C-alpha cells in the first residue's frame, strides 16, 4: 500500500483570490497544513496596491513573518502566488529566498489578472532551482466563471502522479539492495 502524500500548501494572497484556490488545492490533495505567508505591514488600499506593484517591479523581498511550518518535513510543497505587474508577488519571493534549501519537491500555482503568469512560473523555477512536479496558471476570468475547478483537479492529479513516478523507482531500488 502506498504512503499518503504529505503536502504543504504555501500561499500569499493580497485580494483573497489566490488563497481560495490554494484552499481548494489543499482540500483536493488532502493536505493537513496550509501556510499563509503573512507580513508585518499591511497592503490594503491604494497605497498598499502601489507598494505591491513597486516591490514586484524592482524585485524587492520584503520582510515576512516567520513561517510556522518546516517545508523539509513534507513530500511536496505547493507554492501559490498572484501575479503583480507581470512579476511574482514580493512576499512569495521572500519566502522562496528564505526556504529554497528546505524545499522538497515543488509544484507551482499562479493566479493572474490576464498576463504574466508564465513569467512568474519561470521566476519561481529560477529561485527554487528545481523543476516542479506540476504548474498551473489561472486567470481572474476562470476564477469568476468557475472554469478553474477542473484545472485544479487535473493539477492535483499531476502532482500526485509525478510524485509517485519519482518516488517509486527509489522504493524498488532500496528493496532490491536489501538482503
In a domain, 2, yes or no: no
Considering its fold, how many domains does the chain have in total? 1
In a domain, 91, yes or no: yes
CB 52 within 8 A of CB 90: yes
**pLDDT tens column, 92-110:** 999 999 999 999 999 999 9
Q: Look at residue 171 in the predicted model and tell me its pLDDT.
A: 53
User: How many other CB atoms are there within 10 angstroms of residue 116's CB atom?
Assistant: 20
| CA–centroid distance for 22 within its chain | 8
In a domain, 1, yes or no: no
Q: Look at residue 170 in the predicted model and tell me its pLDDT.
A: 55
**Residue 176 in this model has a pLDDT that exceeds 90:** no
Comparing 23-37, 54-68, 93-107, 163-177, which segment has the lowest mean pLDDT?
A: 163-177
CB 1 within 8 A of CB 26: no
**Residue 49 in this model has a pLDDT that exceeds 80:** no
Q: The CATH number of the domain where 152 resides is what?
A: 3.40.50.360
Residue 78: domain span: 7-177
**Mean model confidence pLDDT for the chain:** 88
CB 26 within 8 A of CB 7: yes
Name which residue leads in pLDDT, 16 or 19: 19
In a domain, 30, yes or no: yes
Give this prediction's pTM: 0.87
User: How many other CB atoms are there within 10 angstroms of residue 91's CB atom?
Assistant: 26
In a domain, 87, yes or no: yes
In a domain, 41, yes or no: yes
Q: Look at residue 1 in the predicted model and tell me its pLDDT.
A: 35
Q: Residues 123, 22, 135, 68: is their CA dihedral positive or negative?
A: positive
Amino acid at each position: 500500500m502506498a504512503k499518503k502524500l504529505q503536502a504543504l500548501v504555501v500561499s500569499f494572497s493580497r485580494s483573497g483570490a489566490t488563497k481560495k484556490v490554494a484552499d481548494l488545492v489543499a482540500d483536493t490533495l488532502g493536505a493537513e497544513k496550509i501556510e499563509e505567508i503573512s507580513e508585518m505591514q499591511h497592503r490594503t488600499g491604494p497605497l498598499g496596491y502601489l507598494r505591491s506593484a513597486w516591490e514586484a517591479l524592482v524585485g524587492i523581498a520584503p520582510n515576512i513573518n516567520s513561517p510556522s511550518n518546516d517545508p523539509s518535513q513534507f513530500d511536496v510543497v505547493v507554492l501559490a502566488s498572484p501575479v503583480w505587474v507581470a512579476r511574482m508577488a514580493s512576499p512569495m519571493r521572500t519566502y522562496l529566498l528564505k526556504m529554497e534549501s528546505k524545499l522538497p519537491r515543488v509544484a507551482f500555482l499562479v493566479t493572474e489578472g490576464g498576463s504574466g503568469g508564465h513569467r512568474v512560473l519561470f521566476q519561481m523555477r529560477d529561485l527554487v532551482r528545481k523543476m516542479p512536479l506540476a504548474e498551473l496558471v489561472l486567470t481572474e476570468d476562470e476564477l469568476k466563471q468557475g472554469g478553474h475547478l477542473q484545472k485544479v483537479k487535473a493539477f492535483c492529479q499531476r502532482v500526485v502522479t509525478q510524485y509517485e513516478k519519482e518516488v517509486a523507482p527509489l522504493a524498488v531500488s532500496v528493496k532490491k539492495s536489501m538482503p
